[in-house]
A and B are shown apart, each in its own frame.
Chain A
Amino acid sequence: MIVNRRRIYIIPTRFGIALALLLVAMLIAGLNYNSNLGLAFGFLMVSLALVAMHHCHRNLLNLSVDAIVEVDAFAGDYANFEILLRNEAGIDRCDLEIRMDAAAGHAASGVSTALVSVAARGYQHGAVSVPVARRGVTRLERFELRTRYPFGWFRAWTYVHSPLTAFVAPRPGGERALPSASAAVGTAAQSEVRGDEDFAGLRAYEAGVPLKHMAWKVLARGGEPAVRSYTGLAAEPEWLDWAALHSLGAEARLSQLCRWVLSSEAAQRAYGLRIPGTEITPSRGPAHRSACLRALARYPSEPGHMSVEPAA
């Protein structure tokens, strides 16, 4: 999105208002003493303030703002939104403050900000960490871009209407071991996991395979893209099942499932997720992990447990 002239608002800051009062006093003094030099100085200051206002407004004008619109987070932690500011003009953009209100219900407290400056014909990332207290899907319909540059007398701001979604997974918790660990014989399971590293052969490339599993040498020799496969991939998939945790409450179950997802991913083995209304077939990798965590985030919360679910 490009910041439009009509969408920039500007008001004087507290210091700006104080300065305005001061300028009025200066002009009255100049008139009262009939001092042309005093008036000249006073008017110079007035003009300086007016020019500063233009510069403040300009600091946001025609700035291009792009945000990563979907972000994953854990409850009680921070959702890190990354915002890309691009400046195609020949002037530096200084002291841009990106502000996000923590969404209602999920807010730990107040506003999160990040301060960024973008050089002429350059770009800059700004990362805003919004605290998220509770599990659920948090939507921010807009965020604010503001600046007090150059002298802090004025504050210009604009709202960037770009819906940002944070999938807040439950805080990983629970003490229970993975289902496979309780079912399988300890040593067999151990060796199977270690066998994950063993090279088993090549198979055809398919989208979504981790880059580190690509057989680059084959590609370099001019062959078709291929993927190295490992014995571990062939191992028995783990089912992380809501039903297996029947003794716990809903949120506790979700926390436990979340921990299982993370530990299965860390162990580099395939896992599937089964919660009421959703079943994710076994796989592994960042995309799969994210899909599982988002499913956990999306799980409707019990009445009384505050969560904001978007209308869609």
Chain B
Amino acid sequence: MSGGPATGALTAAAERVSFESLLWISACLALTLLVGIATLPVWVTLTVAAAAGIRLVQAARGQDAPPRGIRFLIGALAIGLLFLQFRTFNGLSAGSALLSLIAGLKLLETRTRRDIYVITMIIYFLSLAALLEGESFWLLSYLIGVCWLTTSTLLRLTSSARNSDWSGSVRHAGRILAQALPLAVAFWLFFPRFGGPLWQMPDSGSNATSGLSDSMSPGDINNLAMSDEVAFRVRFKAGSGTPPPQERYWRGPVLHDFDGHAWRRTESAPVVAPGLRFQGPAYRYTVSLEPSQHNWIFVLDWPSRWDAERAYLTSDYMLMEPNPLSQPLDVAATSYSHVQAAQPLGPGMRRRDTHVHAGRNPRSLRLAQELRSAHPDDPGYIDAVLEMFHSEPFFYTLTPPRLAADPVDGFLFDTKRGFCGHYASAFATLMRAAGIPARVVTGYQGGTYNRFADYWILRQSDAHAWDEVWIEGSGWVRVDPTAAIAPERVEHGLNDMVTAGAAQFSRWQQRTPWFADLRLRLDALRLLWRERILRFDQSSQERLLELLHIPEPDGQKLALVLAACLSLGMTWLTWQVRRELKIRPRDPLQRAYERLCRRLGSVGCERKPAEGPEAYAARVSRLRPDLAEPVMALCREYSALRYGAGAGAAAGTGATAADTNRFSSAVRRFRPRGSRGSS
């Protein structure tokens, strides 16, 4: 009769956090912070790591958290320092840094379950914050994995789990997470999206600068050409044709200022109307740009419409974003391959685009004067220059010799070897020296067609430079001097502008076509992810509802579908969760017998709890003489199968599978009708 005052102590012990849990929650926090480690101030990372380390060492020694005063001091100091650094706690990067810091400090004082709960919530929110700016499938998978582990840690806090192993907890948490998936999909598909932000957040502290490639001296393009990475992908809309290869020029920065050595871009004023008359077929397409340090959007020559909200067109027909593309961007645009200028070239622009640096490249200037005297008309002069590139021994190479102070002279008269940048630069110089307005356009040309998903991949290795000259009466006309080189003098294919290592790689690819196919297929998946998942929006939801044959989809119908899906999901969940509660006998014979008893019960002859089959059959026969025969037979068979000593079965053999099957199908056929009173 003597009890123990154990209960109070028991709960206090249950609230206490074990070393193991502390270790796991620290690991989960570390995995979460790993995602944002690049943007997090280094001292924040170090503080969190130190806090975790100190607490873990203490816990391993069985010590308690550091005293309150010290914790408070550290906390106040760290948060003050953070404010000094960011000047705000608003916005994603400052907020994430603050939360990370709080999580670390919380870890330092973790003693009870309560503290762990707080940390798990911070982990959940930090994961979300990472996803707000990230867009990769792997990031999502990784963070769901971290969430899984964090949730397993929560499960470990229950006392019953403490005695079992970790893998069991992780499995169980995984099962719960898997059950949550269908519901999450329904939410995601049908939760109404509001096209724009609810309110504007301050821009995240991305201090990437544009201007790296606002200049071109042939070395820069060479660097660009090194890389095999994807610059953007293009999908031409259904019903819109694909331009022929000679028109697949993707317009990037336009360069005007030439100091004799390097071409530079000058800021061009934004214009409202393109000032062009569009002719010929329209190409409608979506450009999916990868993040970059720059803020230009690559579009097909010549853009007429685009749907990027903040993008603007400059007077030299570049499509620009106000900020560098820190995130992938999709732009739907329309372009025409043939245009005619609506206005004459302004005097300011003419001056800028005919300017040559007097003291530089003297031999080229002389050459221009000679040619110009022979060809006073502009088209004739342009053809003469192109003919020179074609007939004289100019070579196309990715590894041109270094050029001295006057690179155009050096290229035209000495080395005669170069890549697109050299040709574009030399051509534009010759044009300007003859008084023809000319500018260099950089961008991408060509591309790889992905036949598995019908789109084009433009890689950094597709980077190109060409020229535009002003022809009175038609406007700016594209001229690609690189294309004028005689094919036999191209040392590497134009579409093969890659470094030695990558070149080897691509030769290897050519020999194993399935490998190239695999690469294309993977790339197709990447685009699919981007189009179907990342860009899922109101119009996608509209199409989804149309697919479900719901006429005139709107927000309310969407909400109704969501509600229907959720109630369906909850019902499924209830069923799923309770299914495991059902007590189902494993033994088929037992199941069949229970079915028999249920059927007899439904006509008013319930089996009593301790009634054997034979006694039950006898009672049923008394109650329902009409059922006597089949019930007697079935019950006798059951006891024969069950106990192996009945009248019909050979003693000792027991039930074989075939006998059991026969019995259960006999039970299934047996359907008693009517109630007790009917006979």
**A115/B10 in contact, CB under 8 A:** yes
Q: Tell me which residues across on chain A come within 8 A of B197, comparing CB atoms.
A: 32-34
Q: Tell me which residues across on chain B come within 8 A of A57, comparing CB atoms.
A: 577
**A34/B196 in contact, CB under 8 A:** yes
Inter-chain CA distance A131–B121, complex, in Å, is: 38
Quick one: which of B127, B129, B199 contacts A32, CB cutoff 8 A?
B199
Quick one: which of B6, B177, B191 contacts A48, CB cutoff 8 A?
B177
| Chain A CB within 8 A of B201 CB | yes
**B176/A33 in contact, CB under 8 A:** no
**B176/A38 in contact, CB under 8 A:** no
Binds B, one of A15-23, A190-198, A203-211: A15-23
**A58/B581 in contact, CB under 8 A:** yes
Inter-chain CA distance A113–B128, complex, in Å, is: 38
Within the complex, the shortest CB–CB distance from B143 to chain A, in Å, comes to 6
Binds B, one of A146-154, A181-189, A303-311: A146-154
Q: Tell me which residues across on chain A come within 8 A of B593, comparing CB atoms.
A: none
| Chain A CB within 8 A of B166 CB | no
Inter-chain CA distance A42–B183, complex, in Å, is: 12
Inter-chain CA distance A89–B581, complex, in Å, is: 5
**A32/B180 in contact, CB under 8 A:** no
Q: Tell me which residues across on chain B come within 8 A of A152, comparing CB atoms.
A: 113, 117, 154, 157-158
Inter-chain CA distance A130–B177, complex, in Å, is: 39
Inter-chain CA distance A36–B581, complex, in Å, is: 36
Interface of B is mostly: helix
1/0 per residue, CB under 8 A from B, across A145-171: the answer is 000111110000000000000000000
Inter-chain CA distance A255–B581, complex, in Å, is: 51
**B581/A94 in contact, CB under 8 A:** no
Inter-chain CA distance A95–B197, complex, in Å, is: 44
Quick one: which of B140, B172, B191, B199 contacts A43, CB cutoff 8 A?
B191
Interface residues on A, range: 35 or more
Inter-chain CA distance A62–B573, complex, in Å, is: 17
Quick one: which of A31, A48, A92 contacts B180, CB cutoff 8 A?
A48
| Chain B CB within 8 A of A44 CB | yes
Binds A, one of B130-138, B265-273, B483-491: B130-138
**A44/B158 in contact, CB under 8 A:** no
Q: Tell me which residues across on chain A come within 8 A of B177, comparing CB atoms.
A: 44, 48
**A32/B198 in contact, CB under 8 A:** yes
Inter-chain CA distance A85–B500, complex, in Å, is: 74
Inter-chain CA distance A32–B195, complex, in Å, is: 9
| Chain A CB within 8 A of B3 CB | yes
Q: Tell me which residues across on chain B come within 8 A of A29, comparing CB atoms.
A: 128-129, 132
Given the known inter-chain contacts A30-B132, A41-B131, A50-B180, please indicate yes or no for A15 contacting B14, CB distance below 8 A.
Answer: no
Inter-chain CA distance A92–B171, complex, in Å, is: 14
| Chain B CB within 8 A of A220 CB | no
- Tally inter-chain residue pairs, CB-CB below 8 A: 185
| Chain A CB within 8 A of B230 CB | no
**B140/A37 in contact, CB under 8 A:** yes
Inter-chain CA distance A17–B191, complex, in Å, is: 22
Within the complex, the shortest CB–CB distance from B92 to chain A, in Å, comes to 8
Inter-chain CA distance A182–B144, complex, in Å, is: 81
Within the complex, the shortest CB–CB distance from B555 to chain A, in Å, comes to 14
| Chain B CB within 8 A of A47 CB | yes
User: Which of B5, B134, B188 has the most C-beta atoms of chain A within 10 angstroms of its own C-beta?
Assistant: B188
- Which chain A residues (88-137) contact chain B, with CB distance < 8 Å? 88-92, 94-95, 112-115, 117, 128-131
Binds B, one of A75-83, A222-230, A232-240, A268-276: A75-83
- Which chain B residues (96-126) contact chain A, with CB distance < 8 Å? 113-114, 117, 121, 124-125
1/0 per residue, CB under 8 A from A, across B403-416: the answer is 00000000000000
Inter-chain CA distance A77–B581, complex, in Å, is: 39
Q: Tell me which residues across on chain B come within 8 A of A37, comparing CB atoms.
A: 131-132, 134-135, 139-140, 533-534
Beyond known contacts A35-B133, A39-B191, A150-B172: 8 more, CB 8 A cutoff: A40-B140, A43-B183, A45-B124, A48-B177, A112-B7, A117-B160, A129-B4, A152-B157
> What 3 A-B pairs come out closest when comparing CB atoms?
A78-B3, A129-B3, A117-B160
> Can you list 5 A-B pairs, Cβ within 8 angstroms, ordered by A?
A22-B125, A34-B193, A34-B196, A37-B132, A42-B128
